[in-house]
Amino acid sequence: MTIEEKAKWFDAGVKFQVEGMIFLVMKSRQTGEGKWAIEDFEAKKVLNSNMEWEDEPPTAQRDEAFLIRTRFDFDSAVAMYQQYKMFAEMEEQ
């Protein structure tokens, strides 16, 4: 099974809808700990550690910097999304 095929299985098996088309998705599992991304499936973007949405390149083109910016443990991903929502709501006011 290729890396891309494995990634599709992860995406299909372990994701949680948080709002609209935004999901928390487990992207990998190494040493017993999952790495999660916050994805906007409609816009085809992921939330990075700077609270900005960015395109997710194909698996073969993802460098270490991209993975550091966009992959989190589950608790951090949840906290980051909550923080993003708080800032988004403040901007709307």
Residue 50: domain span: 3-92
Q: Determine the Cα angle at 58 with ends 54 and 64, to 5°.
A: 70
Give the pLDDT confidence score for residue 63 in this predicted structure: 94
Whole-prediction pTM: 0.75
Instruction: Give the mean pLDDT of the chain.
Output: 84
Give the pLDDT confidence score for residue 21 in this predicted structure: 85
Give the pLDDT confidence score for residue 46 in this predicted structure: 96
| Domains in the chain, number | 1
Give the pLDDT confidence score for residue 20 in this predicted structure: 82
| 92 or 56, greater pLDDT | 56
Quote the CA–CA distance of 1 and 64 in Å, as a whole number.
23
